[in-house]
Structure 1
């Protein structure tokens, strides 16, 4: 049956637009207006309707509105620990009773085996250089990214906080979400220390 779903950090709308085509009522939120413009154009081409709106997941304010909230492909963890916690509280508030949170991230336990510390992407004379490192004490994955476009260099460093399963379970207990399952990837394999990703499903209890 059709569900009401919130897609946070929806980007170009590739998930929202496809789910809308299956009959679900979709809302997509992203910080970057250019991404939303691409998402809207794609929705028009697919003849689907999605409510796209600019917004910051730290500040969303919904109450008991959605059957599910999605945070896909490492869209969670880019803020301080306190702000990340606030994001999860906002999501819990946005969910109806029995509603599901689905998010995924890199598995921090396998981070040193699945990532190269340095790589370069070149396209049409432009270049992106990523220098990666992981701080195991803080659980932060750092990327000192440099973008060279039309001869102009821009430094765009960022980090993402990677949580281990125990941390996630404790946070969910703290805010009142129930951890349903952690998978090792989108193929629904069981999670292990060697899994490249961590797919987390939690529920707002009734």
Structure 2
């Protein structure tokens, strides 16, 4: 079983992946980021939506929102969050390698390093092509990852993060000549420990831009954070945006 198919991972490590702090940051980004400012009533697809930390604020401001995720655990949490917030959101359980809705959206989002999951590079390209097929003319895809250039400044230093469920110890390992990243997580809660390993592809700005263009996107731009800053030596994220014709 691939790591992303394991609902025990998503349930067990949700506290570090989707903390209350991260949910508050997501709401602030939706409110303030120029990259997330869409025309009123836009049809927005959140691909790998998780527990709806972006879906809720997007719906609250009036966007027509669809969330897609493979994990039923995450979708159950998303339904609960949307119900608590009193927002109407369409939720779909689907594999992003398969999900398309021809010209069904004005914007497709893929946030918080939810891209590059698949061992076969063709599958990751297929995700971009599916997103392009799902966009109406002039629509945009926004992918947010941790770029190679940003990761290189700190990778290799173990981290310990306190969460509501315990303490998570994280260690990153670069694989295959800076092609892939493995992250090992250990959650310690009392006298128990739970382990998980996540692997994904790594992309530089040039590599991800080229992949967007291979998938048929035009006007591809790279940004260093959600405030729209350039992708340079001060970047905190790698955010790539492309347009569908």
Decide: shared fold, TM above 0.5. Answer: yes
Alpha-carbon distance, 1:53 to partner: 1.8
Q: Which moved more, 1:115-124 or 1:165-174?
A: 115-124
Q: 1:111-166 CA distances to partner (integer Å, 9 max, x unpaired)? A: 13134521223456744221112237242121122334564443311122121122
Distance in 1 (alpha carbons) for counterparts of 2:220 and 2:55: 23
Q: Does 1:27 align with 2:103?
A: no
Corresponding position of 1:7: 46
Q: Does 1:99 align with 2:136?
A: no
Conserved? CA contact 1:116–1:132, under 8 Å: yes
Alpha-carbon distance, 1:196 to partner: 2.2
Distance in 2 (alpha carbons) for counterparts of 1:123 and 1:15: 20
Corresponding position of 1:55: 94
Q: Which moved more, 1:84-93 or 1:185-194?
A: 185-194
Corresponding position of 2:168: 128
Q: 1:84-136 CA distances to partner (integer Å, 9 max, x unpaired)? A: 11111111111111110011111211213134521223456744221112237
Bigger helix fraction: 2
Conserved? CA contact 1:109–1:194, under 8 Å: no
Query: Structure 1 residues 88 and 192 mapped into 2: Cα distance closer, same or farther (>3 Å)?
Result: same
Q: Which moved more, 1:184-193 or 1:62-71?
A: 184-193
Gap regions ≥5 residues in structure 1: none
Query: Structure 1 residues 152 and 182 mapped into 2: Cα distance closer, same or farther (>3 Å)?
Result: same
SS at match of 1:157: strand
Decide which of 184, 203, 206 is 2:243's aligned counterpart: 203
Alpha-carbon distance, 1:180 to partner: 3.1
Distance in 2 (alpha carbons) for counterparts of 1:15 and 1:74: 14
Decide which of 151, 157, 171 is 2:197's aligned counterpart: 157
Distance in 1 (alpha carbons) for counterparts of 2:94 and 2:195: 24
- Normalised by the size of structure 2, how large is the TM-score? 0.76
Conserved? CA contact 1:2–1:23, under 8 Å: yes
**C-alpha RMSD of matched pairs (Å):** 2.0
SS at match of 1:44: helix
Distance in 2 (alpha carbons) for counterparts of 1:125 and 1:43: 23
Conserved? CA contact 2:156–2:173, under 8 Å: no
Alpha-carbon distance, 1:194 to partner: 4.1
